[in-house]
Amino acid sequence: MTLLSSVLLGVIQGVTEFLPVSSSGHLAIAQHLLNISGASESPPFFDVLLHLGTLFAVFAAYWEDIRDMVLEFFYGVSDLVHRTTPRRVPPARRMILLIIVGTLPLFAVLPIKDTIEALGDNMYFVASALLASQLGADLLVIPTGVEKVAINLQDARIADNEGGQPVDCVIKEDGDTAYFATVPVKAMVAKMRENGIPAFVSYTAGTFVCNDLMYSLLYLISKKYPDIRGGFMHVPFAMGQTVDKPNGTAAMAIESIAKGLEYSILAVIENREDISAAMGTTH
């Protein structure tokens, strides 16, 4: 590993850590492009230092929140010892509990840690994981939209952030005209609705970025990974994201968005085949 590649990896880690993308996934891609073969070439301690640097940045940016969570952790322990319960659980205590619960699954992968780490060198796996984890935030989607189909078309109304604006272009020359989601779309919508989360089946993911992501994922599944199930969901903005948006912008409480995703995953687990239900549209 050269000094230049070390600096580039540090920049990528710093930039992607605070974006809604996988910093580890982008580090793996960068290592591949720089001809660094992952764990075999990149010293483990170097990865630790990269994440330690962003940890310091997180502490600097969210010091007050972190302080409140640490205090609430000890207050919570004290309540357990004295068998007392606050009338209303403070948000900071709830957050630290969620962090603890969210960390517990890591212990389940310890027996296969080496296998998981080795997958970081497999670009097909990294790309599939990134695509499968993407969620679109779209102004025009009112409740949570579970996409049914992706089409082999790029037709951008406006340019993207890099100035690209494909018009009437195919995404994959050897791809089908369209691919249907292989997750049980209607079952996912039904599960969310049963639990009070507004949701609907969407029959168009647009004609550029979101559709491109979904189509590319389903193309990859069709060509190389037929046993993997994939799809795409649009979620509304969280409430705090709409403060400066136009009136009428779709929004949902972050807790409801998270619950909707949980129920969607549960529906995928429970339903190998989709349910039969009328969820079509008139236009």
Active-site residue set:
147, 210, 234
User: For 70, what's the count of Cα atoms within 13 Å in the CB-facing half-sphere?
Assistant: 7
> How far, rounded to the nearest angstrom, does the alpha carbon of residue 46 sit from its chain's CA centroid?
25
Residues shown for the chain: 283
Distance CA 192, CA 187 (A): 9
- Evaluated on CA atoms 3, 8, 9, 11, the torsion sign reads positive
The burial of 252, by beta-carbon neighbours within 10 Å (0-12 exposed, 13-18 middle, 19 or more buried), is given as: buried
Distance CA 173, CA 201 (A): 28
CA dihedral 112, 115, 120, 123 (to 10 degrees): -130
CA dihedral 157, 159, 160, 166 (to 10 degrees): 70
Distance CA 101, CA 135 (A): 23
CA-based nearest residue to 203, from 268, 264, 283: 283
CA-based nearest residue to 128, from 54, 48, 220: 220
